Structure 1
């Protein structure tokens, strides 16, 4: 579903694409913080997600566009 949104917004509204993808990353960080108590601190959760994104950049469709950017 997200890859379809990337295709649509990337063609018709590319300036709105980056905030949308960063919002998805914010939701992922929130999920990580709730799921893993040792990553409850926001910095630790962001660092862990960035590490995973660098290691597996094709895990989520939007990571191929946001891995180089500062997440969240």
Structure 2
């Protein structure tokens, strides 16, 4: 994903950012479906902020869009 971001980000960064936010939304939805304790949005959002704060380089696209709310 990192190479893809570098290539398309050089030319179409404004078009790439909504896609990266969408990838984050899919990750959040996956967390909420996989773990029962994160079913509520507030709890999942708090977990999301913890993860992005603790591991900001876990996914390549978090360097550009760490939090999508």
Superposed pair shares fold, TM > 0.5? yes
Q: Which runs of 5+ in 2 are unaligned?
A: none
**TM-score, normalised by the number of residues in structure 1:** 0.84
CA RMSD of aligned residues (A): 1.3
1-side partners of 2:50 and 2:12: how far apart?
A: 29
Spell out structure 1 runs of 4+ moving beyond 3 A: none
Partner Cα distance (1:57, 1:17) in 2: 19
SS of alignment partner, residue 62 of structure 1: helix
Aligned residues: 69
Secondary structure in structure 1 of the residue aligned to 2:63: helix
* TM-score for both structures, normalised by structure 2: 0.87
Q: Which position in structure 2 is the counterpart of 1:44?
A: 43
User: 1:1-72 counterparts in 2 under 5 A?
Assistant: 2-67=1-66, 70-72=67-69
